Amino acid sequence: MTVAAGVRCQGGIVFGADTEETFGDVRTRVYKIPCFRDAGDRTVAMITGACDNGHAMDTAVERIFDAIIRQKPEYNQTFGELLRDVMLKLYADDLRVYPSEAVNVHLLVAAKMPSEPDSTAYPISSVWVHFRA
């Protein structure tokens, strides 16, 4: 079970998360708050959360960061739309590679857009279900 939290403070958002990841009987330490900063220091984002499948979590984070690089969102609304589009595409295109049971995904994404005065947090809570054709 991942323990993660985000707190909005004056001047930004603070994230915290535990560092234990379990695969079957194996427990390891991992960093659970990946961060993104574009080359021009314009967009800053970080993600934490919990997922039943570490590979699904890693894939979601990579797709979100890739979309930020491609689309370069300027505003909170366009960033929120980017998150929605990435997750919907991930469901539609990639679920077939995951096990047939449901995968619970809970993400907390914080971002500071170049044209916005404040950081914003976006919760993503969903269950991915794979249906066999």
What is the CA 48 to chain-centroid distance, rounded? Answer: 6
pLDDT in tens, 98-128: 555 667 778 889 999 989 998 899 988 876 6
pTM over cut 0.85:
no
Q: Angle, nearest 10°, between helix axes 76-94 and 54-71?
A: 130
Average pLDDT of the chain is 80
Any idea of the CA torsion for 38, 106, 129, 34, to the nearest 10 degrees?
30
